[in-house]
Amino acid sequence: MIDPRCVRLTIVGCSGSFPGPDSPASCYLVEAEGFRLLIDLGSGAVGALQRYTSLYEIDAVCVSHLHADHCLDLCDYSVARRFAPDGPKPPIPVYGPPQTALRIGRALGADPVTDARPGADPLNGITELFSFATLAEGTMEIGPLRVTGAHMNHPVETFGFRLEHAGRSLAYSADTGQSDALVDLARDADVLLCEASFTEPADTGGPALPEGLHLTGRQAGQHAARAGVGQLVLTHLVPWNDESRTLDEAGQAFGGPLSLAAAGLGFTLE
């Protein structure tokens, strides 16, 4: 019997910037009291998601930002909902930055069914499948979860999230460069799911890393240490990086439990 206070996290996809050979792009399934929330639905995630849950048992989706590796599988997911064998599924809430519906509707393109209707819908019917809600900084209730969004440090409007339930807490950095807001968001969280897209430049003087884009493993560790989190899970791992190096870097800055995300890994916050 699962303790109803538990929060369950499943890594559906953790590949940074584009899918890798062993993982879709960003997608995390968070379950509490039978409620299923997806955090991001990046490229390739709808396929792997079906290993962990029925496509039609998702209750809500939160999209951190509108880069393709975090949102684009909303297109494929809308097709699965529209053409379900027993008829179209009712809309579920999708929380995202401004213009999420427009972006996904345009990416979806005109459909042979929606096309045939008089009066072209510029959103290509996407709002029939999802009830879009615009994210803002602050706290809201999504099902049994208390969800706090905060702006991260990334070239487009990006939200990191803190999810809380029955005294358990999970923070997610989304994509970000160095960010005091991330430290505040993750303060004392049980688990910080933190991006580590970059590796530190070699001492031999490689090019400097761009600012306001992503974190290195070392920087992820520093953010985790400053926030005092219980556990750090490194994610948004870019396929061309050496993961062991990312892990080593983070371990030099964070002394607590530390691991690399991998598709299919599950964590129970109990």
Query: Footprint of Zn ion on this chain (CB under 5 A)?
Result: 67, 69, 175
The nearest distance, CB 234 to Zn ion, in angstroms, is 14
Between 65 and 82, whose beta carbon lies closer to Zn ion? 65
The nearest distance, CB 3 to Zn ion, in angstroms, is 33
Strand ranges (E), the chain: 7-13, 27-32, 35-39, 60-62, 92-96, 130-134, 138-142, 145-151, 159-165, 168-172, 191-195, 232-235, 258-260, 266-269
Between 69 and 164, whose beta carbon lies closer to Zn ion? 69
- Structural contact between residues 38 and 200, judged by C-beta atoms closer than 8 angstroms: no
Between 7 and 49, whose beta carbon lies closer to Zn ion? 49
What is the identity of the amino acid at 121? D
Between 175 and 249, whose beta carbon lies closer to Zn ion? 175
Hey, what are 147's tokens?
């969800």
Hey, what are 233's tokens?
């899970």
- Angstrom distance (rounded) from CA 6 to CA 2: 7
The nearest distance, CB 69 to Zn ion, in angstroms, is 4
Between 67 and 223, whose beta carbon lies closer to Zn ion? 67
E strand or H helix at 203: none
Between 36 and 67, whose beta carbon lies closer to Zn ion? 67
The nearest distance, CB 156 to Zn ion, in angstroms, is 7
- Angstrom distance (rounded) from CA 69 to CA 200: 23
The nearest distance, CB 68 to Zn ion, in angstroms, is 8
Hey, what are 119's tokens?
């009066």
The nearest distance, CB 130 to Zn ion, in angstroms, is 21
Q: What share of the chain is helix, strand, coil (3-state, %, to 5)?
A: 25, 30, 45
